[in-house]
Structure 1
Amino acid sequence: MKKSKMLALLAALVALLLIVAACGSDDAGSGDSEGKVYQVGIDTTYPPFEYEEDGEYKGIDVDLIRAIAENQGFEIELNPMDFGGIIPAVQAGQLDVAIAGMSITDERKEVVDFSDPYFEAGLTLVTAASNNEITSLEDLEGKRVVVKTGTTGAKFAEDNKDEYGYEITTLEDSPSMFQEVSNGNADVLIEDYPVIAYAIAQSSLDLQIVGERLNGDNYGIAVLKGENADLLEKINAGLQELRDSGEYDEIINTYITE
């Protein structure tokens, strides 16, 4: 009799341990994403999309990714770095997300997956305010053009330099480009239209936008190619909900007015 009771007790204990183990396995699997803080790469030299003011990160991209994360219920941590290092950091696993006024291009699509477009930008030529000689690409023969490392502006300049006969200087950030043209060390810079329009309006830069936009780039939010489909789905869902609710327009209008 005692032996039967003991066997029944042991069987019950084994069953209980199997249930606990199964529950523990489920908790471990779900905890991988629930407890994760996604690392987000930004470039704080790029107002009005990203900049630092009084020790706080601000801008369209900053507000947008924070709003998307809140809407979709995930945590983020912002990581400022040079623009040219953001995609390599995504590839190296140091970043989960990149939002940095990054144009969606076929070349970048080879290594990252982009969200739905969230802003239509476009490149433009910028000269010193006193320069009356340059109004289009056709005026750049023999001139010095300055661009920022890793940008679509840099690629555009490289792709067209032989046709239009200019020299290229590459710098690491937008303020350095602005200064180079203001000081007369370069004839023209190539920059995203909303960035330079904001910079000229908000500061005493002795610069002017000339000619028509050179292209019609769209900005996207990037994740590592083929590795973060669930996260990208959340980003797109959050972006659409912000558009539907009007919060997207509120963010844009905080920094850019027509």
Structure 2
Amino acid sequence: MKILEKSGFAGLLLLAAFSNAHADGTIKTALDGTFAPHAMPTLDGKVEGFNVDLVNLIGERLGKEVDLTSAQFSGLIPALQAKTYDFLAAPVTVNEERAANLLFSEGFMDTNFAFVVPADVPDFTSLEDFKGKTIAVNKGSAYDSFLREREGEFGWKVESYGTNTDAVAAVLAGRADANLAGATVAAWAAKQNPQVKLSYEYPTGLVWGLAFRKDDVEGRNLIDKVIECLKIDGSMATLSEKWFGVTPAAGATIVTPTKGYGVPGFEGYSEDDHQPSCELN
């Protein structure tokens, strides 16, 4: 996958910085190519999606070629640790366990949950609004566990399906009142099916970041700066609108640079007073 070199002073400064951290002219990275809309196969055998576009923009800003591999998620972190990749383009939820073994860029997106409901029903504004409703969910997912742990409190009925596509189909067929999934997956479902719409979004307080090896502080810090640039120049908002059909709210992680490097509150975070900019050295 070739990336055209970005012209201009900002691109040259970023390129010089990245060259110190990674000597060759190629960014080697990988993601799970079956996690729509972040990455998904195309009819011509390639892969497309939000995170594909994101890593391509990173390559463009750095004037680097991008060698992007599609692989099963379970094998990505071991391959990163084995230095097969410079970092992972996959969306990886930053948590305490992972932060103990990996470095992370600042969050590029919140990992919230979201409900999908029929397009013609009134808006839902809280979990309480779903009391007594039948909610379809992907069996064994974090969303399945979330709903079942709260069945007694909210009185909803949980119906589990083999895939989230099947769970959305249950809403379309009237067998369920709502579907719960990750916010981006829910947004993609609503974008693809005009008979449903996005509904209440539940904040988890967690974010997705790009994962690096513990010893690659320089590479992590540089990519962190590029992500900040993509937030402030409007690129991240454009990607959100393209893939999710959602214009990010002011203050959302996807459009708001984070102070320092990494994710505050987790191991590997480095406090720093640099000012987010697209002209970095």
TM range (shorter): 0.5 to 0.7
Deviation of the 1:123 alpha carbon: 1.6
Task: Give the residue type in structure 2 aligned to 1:147.
Answer: N
User: What are structure 1's unaligned runs of at least 5 residues?
Assistant: 1-29
Out of 41, 47, 50, the residue aligned to residue 39 of structure 2 is: 50
Could you say if the C-alpha distance between residues 236 and 201 of structure 1 is closer, same or farther in structure 2, counting changes exceeding 3 Å?
same
Out of 202, 221, 226, the residue aligned to residue 214 of structure 1 is: 202
* 8 Å CA contact retained: 1:125, 1:189: yes
1:59 aligns with 2:52: no
Q: Over residues 151-189 of structure 1, what are the superposed CA-to-partner deviations in whole Å (9 max), with x where a residue is unaligned? A: 5x35533553454454462645x4333224334555532
Task: Give the residue type in structure 1 aligned to 2:160.
Answer: T
Out of 226, 236, 242, the residue aligned to residue 238 of structure 1 is: 226
Q: Over residues 106-127 of structure 1, what are the superposed CA-to-partner deviations in whole Å (9 max), with x where a residue is unaligned? A: 4543554331122346322223
Alignment of 1:184-223 (within 5 A): 184=174, 186-204=176-194, 206-210=195-199, 212-215=200-203, 217=205, 219-223=207-211
TM-score (norm 1): 0.62
Out of 99, 104, 109, the residue aligned to residue 114 of structure 1 is: 104
What's the counterpart of residue 160 of structure 2? 169
User: What are structure 2's unaligned runs of at least 5 residues?
Assistant: 1-19, 248-281
Alignment of 1:22-37 (within 5 A): 33-34=23-24
* 8 Å CA contact retained: 1:42, 1:80: yes
What's the counterpart of residue 79 of structure 2? 93
TM-score (norm 2): 0.58
* 8 Å CA contact retained: 1:144, 1:187: yes
Q: Distance in 2 between matches of 1:53 and 1:181?
A: 27
* 8 Å CA contact retained: 1:243, 1:249: yes
Task: Give the residue type in structure 2 aligned to 1:51.
Answer: M
**Bigger radius of gyration, 1 or 2?**
1
* 8 Å CA contact retained: 1:128, 1:207: yes
Structure whose residues are more often helix by fraction: 1
Q: Distance in 2 between matches of 1:237 and 1:31?
A: 14
Could you say if the C-alpha distance between residues 257 and 145 of structure 1 is closer, same or farther in structure 2, counting changes exceeding 3 Å?
closer
Q: Distance in 1 between matches of 2:210 and 2:51?
A: 12
Aligned residue for 2:220, secondary structure, equals: helix
Structural RMSD (CA): 4.0
Runs of 4+ in structure 1 deviating by more than 6 angstroms, as ranges, are: none
